[in-house]
Each structure stands twice: as C-alpha cells, then as structure tokens.
C-alpha cells in the first residue's frame, strides 16, 4: 500500500510564502508522477503542479505559473511545493497525489491513484 503524507500548510497574509512537503513510497518508481492538487469549498478539485519522474517534466496550472514551484529531493524522497506571492484565491485544502505510472493528463486528479489526507492553506487579504 502506498503511503502519501503531506505537511507544511498554514495561514499567511497575501503576498507571503509557504512550502508544502510530501513523502510517498511510490517515489521510488522511476516512471512515477506526483503532484499537488487543491480544493476550495464548493469547488472542484484542481491540479496545481505535477512532475513526471521519468524526465523531470513539470506541469502547472495557469493560475499559479510564475508563483509556485514543484521540486523534489531524491535523497529525502520528498516532493515540495514552494508557493510565493500567495493570493486569497489560493486558499484551499492542498493534497499530494501519486501514481506509479506516467499520467497522460498530468493535471487531472483522476490520473492519480494515491492521495494524502490534505493540508489546509489559508491566505488572508
């Protein structure tokens, strides 16, 4: 069973930064995909940023391009999401997700098999 565990959420004022972390046992598969998704109350879950381990390709939602960066630390088997210039509209529950396969639609939640419990990010104006 793949375990996915997020950490690092919290509350911050607009313009601030947060870094989310995620550890998952699927990290050891070279063709894995991992990523970050978010869901605000009353809204659908949306892909924020994902990475394909096979070639390091990264994918970002248009709304976060230039502000968020997905990265990984192979030595620590950890995935990160650095979030800068946060806006109130970034407020949501953030989930880390993983799949041992290459996702054909990298930002679509249904491509991912394993999910963490979520971590809340709240940005105040």
Mind listing the pLDDT tens digit for each residue in 34-79? 999 999 999 999 999 999 998 999 999 999 999 999 999 888 889 9
Distance (Å, whole) CA 17 – CA 68: 9
Q: What percent of the chain has pLDDT over 90?
A: 77
Distance (Å, whole) CA 61 – CA 54: 20
């Amino acid at each position: 069973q793949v375990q996915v565990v997020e950490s690092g959420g919290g509350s911050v004022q607009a313009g601030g930064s947060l870094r989310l972390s995620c550890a998952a046992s699927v990290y050891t598969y070279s063709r894995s995909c991992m990523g970050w998704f978010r869901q605000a109350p009353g809204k659908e879950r949306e892909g924020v940023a994902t990475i394909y381990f096979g070639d390091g390709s990264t994918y970002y939602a248009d709304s976060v391009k230039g502000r968020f960066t997905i990265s990984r630390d192979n030595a620590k088997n950890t995935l990160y999401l650095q979030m800068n210039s946060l806006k109130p509209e970034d407020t949501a529950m953030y989930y880390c997700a993983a799949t041992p396969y290459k996702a054909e639609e990298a930002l679509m939640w249904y491509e991912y098999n394993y999910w963490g419990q979520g971590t809340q990010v709240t940005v105040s104006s």
